[in-house]
């Protein structure tokens, strides 16, 4: 059974049929509604924008842009009933894009309450077409489809949507249908060469955009959204990392009660923020479990112990499970299978430790939205499965512990802001992401102790040189991959046949897309020379210049 997931993304999974319920619901059942305040201290009083999801690949990006304007928003399915929306007291609605055509049989439509609620509505692409179709306009296939860059020209420079913007701005189009007749009361606010009605609006704050303001290719897109939020919806921008922390602390306390939480601590920023957040909420009721699975980078264990046990004074149990994980991974070459096995073994270790603890009830994880969207979940029906993340698809359905994931709907940059708000150091908060399955997915093929040692040594060189070049903070991730290829080499007077290491470095904002980093040639030269000289089993180094898409950041 599936129930609506809480807007924060923190959920509780119960054993048996794995019922997924919002921890807000559970807290209210246990303690009463007033014990679970929203961000500003009063349930339902925060200003909220509701984004209705019609299946666009950019739907979470819309939510991200709204939050960047310091306005809280929730992304919900397009057919969410009013009973679930009303408590949010929305200041406005945004209708996302989507793959359908409004004139197709069974095409999704916006609920009547969107247009009856008397609050502003912004329709984007398909959202604009739905607005036109349902309010009495006409949508038809376009004679000239419009994909990619276009130039938007204003018809009404006094429109609040275009406040402080040039008369003509570059935008990003992606549509095959177009509004060729506006609903009664609407007027054209802007046009492009191929779309006479690229923006339409009326005097009630209903606006339709044929382009995508949420993508980076629309140069002033965030400004346009900000104008809608502030000047049309009347938002004040009160949603901040501080408010998020205050809300989560209260909700975690309400959910956990007198129970105990164990946190899967990896040393990365995600689990660090989760652990610190929960520690602030329930103190010594939290015990962090650091599993050394043998798949970590060099000196990773020592760093984790230093930060969390000595500096943050958390209860911390260290478990050396290297032999267990390597035994489970023996003979496995498929990356999906690796992830599933690692996730399964993690839970077994945690539950064994929990059995030794009195009243261990909850397991906390640092799951983020990019993990979820790449791993098809019930809350994310429209997403295409790219790969299973060990902490999303790798959890067993009969798990005894209830699951807490307070960062589940946040992007990495939002998590970092929350970490700084919690008082974590910049060194910890701005650590580059490290995958939950560790080095297992950076070894192509079977994982062995010998390969792990080679990869650790190569990765150490990459990180050391990147930091010496003062490029660490400029890169989203930089690491080494031990490929499944071997090559002939000559070292001294001897023929060698060794591993090929690939170096990967990318820039990104949120890991949803990424570009390969243009590292200086002399830096690449130093990395290559050091790896070949310092890692005996490696005799060749290559540099990966693939962006995401079409590739992914990790190789597996």
Superfamily of domain 241-429: HUPs (3.40.50.620)
**pTM of structure:** 0.67
Question: DSSP assignment, residue 216?
Answer: T
pLDDT single digits (tens) 48-99: 999 999 988 788 889 889 988 999 888 889 999 999 999 999 999 999 998 8
Task: Tell me the DSSP string of 161-176.
Answer: GGTT--SEEEEEEEEE
The pLDDT of residue 395: 52
Contact status, residue 365 vs residue 383, Cβ threshold 8 Å: no
CA pair distance 503, 513, nearest whole angstrom: 18
Q: Where in the chain is the domain with CATH 3.40.50.880?
A: 47-232
Q: Which two tokens stand for residue 168?
A: 């003509």
Q: Where in the chain is the domain with CATH 3.30.300.10?
A: 448-543
The pLDDT of residue 365: 86
The stretches of 469-538 forming alpha helices (DSSP H) are: 521-534
Q: Which residues are catalytic?
A: 125, 212, 214
Distance of alpha carbon 388 from the chain centroid: 14
**Does residue 211 surpass a pLDDT of 70?**
yes
Share of the chain above pLDDT 70, in %: 84
Q: Which two tokens stand for residue 74?
A: 């929730």
Average pLDDT for 356-384: 63
CB atoms inside a 10 Å sphere around CB 176: 11
Determine which of 47-51, 352-356, 373-377 has the lowest per-residue pLDDT on average. Answer: 373-377
Beta bridge partners of 149: 172
CA pair distance 52, 131, nearest whole angstrom: 12
CATH class of 47-232: alpha beta
Of the spans 189-203, 337-351, 442-456, which averages the highest pLDDT?
442-456
The pLDDT of residue 442: 97
Average pLDDT for 124-138: 94
Whether the bond between 550 and the residue before it is cis, its omega within 30 degrees of 0, is: yes
The pLDDT of residue 493: 66
CA pair distance 314, 300, nearest whole angstrom: 18
Determine which of 14-18, 81-85, 148-152, 416-420 has the lowest per-residue pLDDT on average. Answer: 14-18
Task: Tell me the DSSP string of 253-284.
Answer: HHHHTT-EEEEEE-SSHHHHHHHHHHHHHHGG
Average pLDDT for 364-376: 67
Query: Strands 206-209 and 199-201: what pairing?
Result: antiparallel
Match 């490929």 to its residue by tokens: 483
* Sheet strands (E) in 395-476: 402-404
End-to-end CA distance of the chain: 31
CA pair distance 418, 255, nearest whole angstrom: 20
Q: Where in the chain is the domain with CATH 3.40.50.620?
A: 241-429
Q: Could you tell me if residue 131 is left (phi over 0), alpha (psi between -120 and 50 degrees) or otherwise beta?
A: alpha
Q: How many helices (H) does the chain have, and how many strands (E)?
A: 16, 20
Instruction: Give the containing element (helix H, strand E) for 464.
Output: helix 449-468
Torsion of Cα atoms, 287 then 288 then 292 then 298, to 10°? -140
**Domain 448-543: CATH architecture, name and number where available:** 2-Layer Sandwich (3.30)
């Amino acid at each position: 059974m599936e129930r609506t997931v809480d807007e924060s993304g923190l959920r509780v999974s119960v054993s048996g049929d794995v019922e997924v319920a919002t921890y807000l619901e559970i807290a209210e059942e246990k303690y009463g509604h007033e014990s679970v305040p929203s961000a500003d201290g009063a349930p339902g009083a925060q200003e909220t924008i509701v984004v209705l999801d019609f299946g666009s690949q950019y739907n979470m990006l819309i939510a991200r842009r709204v939050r960047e304007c310091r306005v809280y928003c929730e992304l919900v399915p397009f057919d969410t009933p009013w009973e679930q929306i009303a408590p949010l007291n929305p200041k406005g609605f945004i209708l996302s894009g989507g793959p359908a055509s409004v004139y197709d049989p069974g095409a999704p439509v916006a609920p009547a309450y969107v247009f009856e609620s008397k609050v502003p509505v912004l329709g984007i692409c398909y959202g604009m077409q739905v607005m036109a179709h349902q309010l009495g306009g006409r949508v038809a296939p376009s004679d000239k489809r419009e994909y990619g860059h276009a130039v938007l020209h204003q018809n009404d420079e006094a429109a609040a949507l275009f406040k402080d913007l040039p008369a003509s701005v570059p935008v990003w189009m992606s549509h095959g249908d177009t509004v060729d007749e506006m609903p009664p009361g609407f007027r054209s606010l802007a046009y492009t060469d191929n779309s006479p009605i690229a923006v339409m609006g009326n005097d009630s704050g209903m606006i339709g955009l044929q382009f995508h303001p949420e993508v980076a290719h629309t140069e002033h897109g965030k400004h346009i959204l900000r104008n809608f939020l502030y000047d049309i919806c009347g938002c004040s921008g009160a949603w901040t990392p501080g408010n998020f922390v205050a809300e989560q602390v209260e909700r975690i306390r309400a959910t956990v009660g007198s129970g105990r939480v164990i946190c899967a601590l990896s040393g990365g920023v995600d689990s660090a923020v989760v652990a610190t957040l929960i520690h602030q909420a329930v103190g010594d009721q939290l015990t962090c479990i650091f599993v050394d699975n043998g798949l970590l980078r060099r000196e990773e264990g020592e760093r984790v112990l230093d930060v969390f046990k000595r500096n943050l004074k958390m209860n911390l149990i260290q478990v050396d499970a290297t032999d267990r994980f390597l035994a489970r991974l023996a003979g496995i070459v498929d990356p999906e299978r690796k992830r599933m096995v690692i996730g399964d073994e993690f839970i077994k270790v945690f539950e064994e430790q929990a059995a030794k603890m009195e009243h261990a009830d909850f397991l906390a994880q640092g799951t983020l939205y990019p993990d979820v969207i790449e791993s098809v979940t019930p809350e994310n029906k429209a997403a295409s499965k790219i790969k299973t993340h060990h902490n999303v698809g790798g959890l067993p359905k009969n798990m005894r512990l209830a699951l807490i994931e307070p960062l589940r709907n946040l992007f990495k940059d939002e998590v970092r802001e929350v970490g700084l708000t919690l008082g974590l150091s910049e060194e910890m908060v701005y650590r580059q992401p490290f995958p939950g399955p560790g080095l297992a997915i950076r070894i192509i093929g079977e994982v062995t102790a010998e390969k792990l040692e080679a990869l650790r040594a190569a990765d150490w060189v990459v990180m050391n040189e990147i930091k010496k070049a003062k490029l660490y903070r400029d890169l989203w991730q930089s690491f080494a991959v031990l490929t499944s290829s071997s090559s002939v080499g000559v070292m001294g007077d001897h023929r060698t046949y060794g591993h090929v290491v690939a170096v990967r470095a990318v820039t990104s904002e949120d890991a949803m897309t990424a570009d390969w980093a243009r590292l200086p040639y002399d830096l690449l030269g130093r990395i290559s020379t050091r790896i070949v000289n310092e890692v005996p089993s490696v005799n060749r180094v290559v540099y990966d210049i693939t962006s995401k898409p079409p590739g992914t950041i990790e190789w597996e």
